[in-house]
């Protein structure tokens, strides 16, 4: 069985007091068992140490960085390395998020270096992939996402690939008023798994959790997670509310 995972990306939200309150609410709600095998929160970098210390008190609760640099150290003002993340007690790191690709110009080739850097420090990458509206309208979504996977991941050995979590983001359905159906989510998750199997074999591909990174809420999570190849969600806005976030975790 693949791990069933819900990860909350807080992005650039919550000040220190708000972040502390949010993680304490999540802790409290997780005093009762949740359906997800793993619940992950990704706060801003400035709160990682405090959040990791609190997460260590709760079985099944883990912490992720929102990004990392491809180098271990150096003159990179404002950046954070996989080495630093690991020293803070972080277990996961989100790489290739659509916002990093769009706003900061991160390429597939750069992300290949970041994935290697993270794995070298025993961090688990949550590798994001997904297509914009123009690609979806052209019917080229599978080709586009396959290229992302090939250029960023196919340099890995099978044992390293097995350590990853994949997150599919239908960029065209995030904040656009359009909705990705559960069927569309399942189709793309199955396509991703098939492409990974073409390189690494079915056993490796079937081992990898693939999370849905669209507009997932308590009201639609159960339907989306019912897909055979959908193993949880990478949650944005709904992860900023503890009750909503844990409700999504309990939809698995």
What integer pLDDT is reported at residue 119 of this predicted model?
98
Cα within 13 Å of Cα(18), Cβ side: 9
Residue with tokens 């271990």: 72
Specify the 3-state DSSP secondary structure of 35: coil
Would you please indicate which residues are annotated as catalytic (active-site) residues?
A: 97, 169
Phi, psi of 129 (to 5 degrees): -145, 160
Q: Which residues contact 125 (CB under 8 A, 6 or more apart)?
A: 92, 93, 94, 95, 114, 115, 118, 119, 163, 164, 165
Is the Cα dihedral 156, 168, 107, 65 positive or negative? negative
Specify the 3-state DSSP secondary structure of 111: helix
Give me 78's structure tokens.
């404002």
Per-residue pLDDT of the chain (252 residues; tens, 9 = 90+): 899 999 999 999 999 999 999 999 999 999 999 999 999 999 999 999 999 999 999 999 999 999 999 999 999 999 999 999 999 999 999 999 999 999 999 999 999 999 999 999 999 999 999 999 999 999 999 999 999 999 999 999 999 999 999 999 999 988 776 778 999 999 999 999 999 999 999 999 999 999 999 889 999 999 999 999 999 999 999 999 999 999 999 999
- Opening angle at CA 242, ends 240 and 246, nearest 5: 115
Residues 145 and 192 sit within 8 Å (Cβ to Cβ):
yes
Residues 10 and 41 sit within 8 Å (Cβ to Cβ):
yes
Say what the pTM is: 0.97
Domain edges within the chain: 5-249
CATH topology of domain 5-249: TIM Barrel (3.20.20)
E strands present in the chain:
5-9, 38-42, 61-65, 92-95, 124-129, 165-168, 210-212, 232-235
What integer pLDDT is reported at residue 77 of this predicted model?
97
């Amino acid at each position: 069985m693949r791990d069933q995972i819900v990860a909350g990306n807080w992005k650039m939200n919550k000040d220190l007091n708000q972040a502390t309150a949010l993680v304490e609410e999540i802790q409290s709600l997780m005093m009762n068992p949740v359906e997800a095998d793993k619940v992950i929160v990704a706060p801003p970098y400035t709160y990682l140490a405090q959040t990791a210390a609190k997460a260590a008190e709760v079985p099944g609760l883990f912490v992720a960085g929102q990004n990392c640099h491809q180098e271990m150290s150096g003159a990179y003002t404002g950046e954070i390395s996989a080495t630093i993340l690991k020293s803070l007690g972080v277990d996961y790191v989100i790489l290739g998020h659509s916002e990093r690709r769009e706003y900061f110009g991160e390429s597939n080739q750069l992300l290949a270096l970041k994935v290697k850097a993270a794995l070298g420090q025993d961090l688990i990458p949550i590798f994001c992939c997904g297509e914009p509206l123009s690609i979806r309208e052209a019917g080229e979504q599978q080709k586009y996402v396959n290229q992302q996977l090939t250029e960023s991941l196919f340099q890995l050995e099978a044992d390293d690939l097995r350590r990853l979590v994949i997150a599919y983001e239908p960029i065209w359905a995030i904040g656009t008023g359009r909705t990705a159906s559960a069927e569309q989510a399942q189709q793309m998750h199955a396509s991703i798994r098939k492409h990974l199997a073409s390189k690494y074999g079915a056993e490796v591909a079937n081992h990898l959790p693939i999370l849905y990174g669209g507009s997932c809420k308590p009201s639609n999570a159960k339907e989306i997670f019912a897909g055979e190849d959908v193993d949880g969600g990478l949650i944005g806005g709904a992860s900023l509310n503890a009750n909503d976030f844990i409700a999504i975790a309990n939809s698995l």
